[in-house]
Amino acid sequence: MAETKNKHKIKNPFEGIIEKLFMIFENKIYLYGFFAALVVFLVIFPNTSSRFTQEIMTNLFFYVVVCLGLNIIVGYAGLLHLGYAAFFAVGAYTTGILSSRMGMDFWLTIPFSIVAAVIAGLAIGFPTLRLRGDYLAIVTLGFGEITRLTIRNLDVTGGAIGLIGIQRPEFFGITLNQISHFYYMFFILAILAIIVSYRLENSRMGRAWEYIREDEDAAAAMGINVTTSRLYAFIIGSAFGAVAGSFFAAKMTAISPDSFMFIHSVMFLMAVVLGGMGKIPGVVLGSVLVVLIPEVARGIGPYRLLIFGFLLLIIMLYRPQGIWPEKPTISTDE
Amino acid sequence: MALLQIKDLTLRFGGLCAVNALSLEIEEGSIRSLIGPNGAGKTCVFNCLTGFYKPSDGEMLFQGESLVNKKPHIITYMGMARTFQNLRLFKSMSVLENVMSGMHCRTNAAFFTTAFRTKGQREEEKHIREVAEECLDFVGILNKKHFIASNLPYGDQRKVEWARALATQPKLLLLDEPAAGLNKDEKSRLIDLMHKIRDKREVTIFLIEHDMGLVMKISEKIFVIDYGVKIAEGTAQEVRDNPKVVEAYLGKEEEEETA
Ligand SMILES: Nc1ncnc2c1ncn2[C@@H]1O[C@H](COP(=O)(O)OP(=O)(O)OP(=O)(O)O)[C@@H](O)[C@H]1O
Ligand SMILES: [Mg+2]
């Protein structure tokens, strides 16, 4: 068909490389070998690198977790979310308040942070998701700002200064206080996020999101509750963000409203969109780009946002489905 | 009691009365057709039944339960499945995935069982796949299960839609112009398939069709509507001889028969 051929007309520099990789990794032994080598490399990485590079890698893993969470909402359910940093803030502040003000153990704060995110997700999602998808973008944008202004002005959140003295988590008797500890913690979190995303994607729920994205009416006719399925995605994604926020708070030990600005929501969204919405390797690739480009381009300082803007514009114009290619498909070749 | 009862169903779009005080009954285990000229309101009747349109007036009872104000997914869950006049497949998904959608309302795995991939969840996934494959086998395209839906020839895409509807395990199947765009060969196989669905799966069939020849062959009873009003009902012979029907079609009937 002419349409499908057109789709592949525009090549990008990554595509050739990635297509070659697809061909090599068709052989499962290479694929598993590659993953094993990657994991081994990432595990021994802290022993061979500076604190600075470990910090960057930790930030990368953190981005992978957050962006995979956002991907559930944006990529899987197809809902535009412009205030994801707020859900991240809900988790960070829940842990921050419970830990610094009440002395609660870090691990115990996580269920509270999930519950807080679920409540916030329901409060935002329940009324808006019955309307058309577009409204959610506006409501989440507003929610992001309201949340930031609220935590800035409340006493319990420490106002503009924020919270300090968030306790370090303990793990089998070891207090996590080295950068390498957090490196491993976020590494494990990222792997868990990938596994959960993968399982969701290939499940009854993941398929329901895909059906809805493809054809909402047909999905409804097949017995899928469109509103509830979207709400599920919204809440699961929010909970992902909140858990990442909790770990963020534990790593930083101090948080302030400045960590949860609109620009952060934009960066998360950019990573998802750049790499490819709804595709796990795409989101990982997007996170790598969003975290590493500023580091590589440190020399040009304030102009780096300009580079992002430009990159995003090009991607949106020429490759709205993101850098990562579509999964190869079988066709009848009539 | 009839499986489906429609009483005085009325649907208005502003000044236009697309369905006008329509009453009819569908008995369990039957094959019934709804015919009428273009724009007569046939698809609107289906859209009311399946919850896509909200009727302005009237009552619809399915197994004695009212369908009024019910959402489409609830109606599917109650046991009524449909196909669309213009194919509405999940185009970029595989044939198998398309059909698996039908099992959604018969299964219930949610977040935790999926995240931890519990035994129950894995068994349910397997069950969904098996049912979908069985439905594909039933309509005769199991060998194409891994193809992307939009890459199939038109006739096969129709079969995917049928398999998908069957996967919801319906009691009543609404088919909106199932023979549109099919060739003679495919049409005769379609008739066999409809009988097979009714006899082997015990599914009642209610279809909209333009091809009079096909309608006459398949259904024991036919309802004719024009401008949303029921103008005749009866056997193929009775309907064919009804002057009102002939008038509604203005000789179009003979034209299609010879074609
Ligand atoms: N959503 C809508 N809004 C306004 N008018 C509509 C709508 N849907 C259908 N109609 C009108 O209702 C009338 C009946 O339409 P319907 O689609 O039910 O006809 P049909 O009998 O299925 O015709 P066909 O044989 O062409 O499929 C038409 O005049 C159509 O324009
Ligand atoms: Mg129609």
With CA atoms as reference, report the closest residue to B239 among B259, B209, B198: B209
Rounded CA gap, B230 and B40, in Å?
10
State the pTM of this model.
Answer: 0.90
- Of A3, A204, A333, which to mutate for an interface test with B (greatest number of B Cβ within 10 Å)? A204
pLDDT tens digits for chain A (334 residues)? Answer: 344 444 444 555 666 777 777 777 777 787 888 888 888 888 887 778 788 888 999 999 999 999 999 999 999 999 999 999 999 999 999 999 999 888 888 999 999 999 999 999 999 998 888 876 678 888 999 998 898 899 888 888 888 888 887 888 877 777 777 888 899 999 999 999 999 999 999 999 999 999 999 999 999 999 999 999 999 999 999 999 999 999 999 998 888 888 888 888 888 998 998 888 889 999 999 999 888 887 777 777 677 777 777 877 887 788 777 888 776 554 444 3
Q: How many CB atoms lie within 10 A of CB B50?
A: 22
Task: Say yes or no for a CB contact (<8 Å) between B73 and A332.
Answer: no
**pLDDT value of position B127:** 96
Please answer whether residues A186 and A65 qualify as being in contact, where contact means their C-beta atoms are separated by less than 8 angstroms: yes
**Angle made by CA atoms B90, B95, B98, in degrees to the nearest 5:** 45
Shortest distance between the Cα of A4 and any Cα of chain B, in A, equals: 10
- Structural domains of chain A, ranges and CATH numbers in brackets: 14-40+56-318 (1.10.3470)
B174 or B254: whose pLDDT is higher?
A: B174
DSSP state letter for B40: S
**pLDDT value of position A235:** 95
Per-residue pLDDT tens digits for B205-228:
999 998 888 888 888 899 999 999
Q: By the CB < 8 Å criterion, does B126 face chain A?
A: no
**pLDDT value of position A4:** 43
Q: By the CB < 8 Å criterion, does B125 face chain A?
A: yes
Cβ-Cβ contacts under 8 Å for B198 (sequence gap 6 or more) = B29, B31, B204, B205
Q: Does residue B18 line the site of ligand 1, with CB under 6 A?
A: yes
Partner residue opposite B104 with nearest CB, options A222, A232, A334:
A222
- Where helices occur in chain B by DSSP H, the ranges are 42-49, 72-78, 95-100, 111-115, 119-139, 154-167, 184-201, 212-218, 236-241, 243-249, 252-258
Rounded CA gap, B151 and A177, in Å?
55
**Radius of gyration of chain A from Cα atoms?**
20
Please answer whether residues A220 and B71 qualify as being in contact, where contact means their C-beta atoms are separated by less than 8 angstroms: yes
Task: Say yes or no for a CB contact (<8 Å) between A205 and B153.
Answer: no
Q: By the CB < 8 Å criterion, does A5 face chain B?
A: no
Chain A residues in contact with B110 (beta carbon < 8 A): 205, 232
Q: How many CB atoms lie within 10 A of CB B11?
A: 22
Task: Say yes or no for a CB contact (<8 Å) between B109 and A236.
Answer: no
Partner residue opposite A223 with nearest CB, options B77, B110, B153:
B77
Of the listed ranges A26-35, B11-20, B28-37, B185-194, the least confidently predicted one is A26-35
Nearest CA in chain A to B98: A211
Stretch (H or E) spanning B140: none
- Where helices occur in chain A by DSSP H, the ranges are 2-7, 13-24, 28-48, 51-71, 84-102, 106-128, 134-153, 179-201, 204-214, 216-221, 226-252, 262-275, 280-296, 304-318
Q: By the CB < 8 Å criterion, does B89 face chain A?
A: yes
List, edge to edge, every strand of the sheet that includes B31-35.
Answer: B80-82, B172-176, B204-208, B31-35, B221-226, B229-234
Chain B residues in contact with A210 (beta carbon < 8 A): 90, 93, 97
What is the dihedral sign for C-alpha A101, A104, A107, A112? negative
**pLDDT value of position A308:** 74
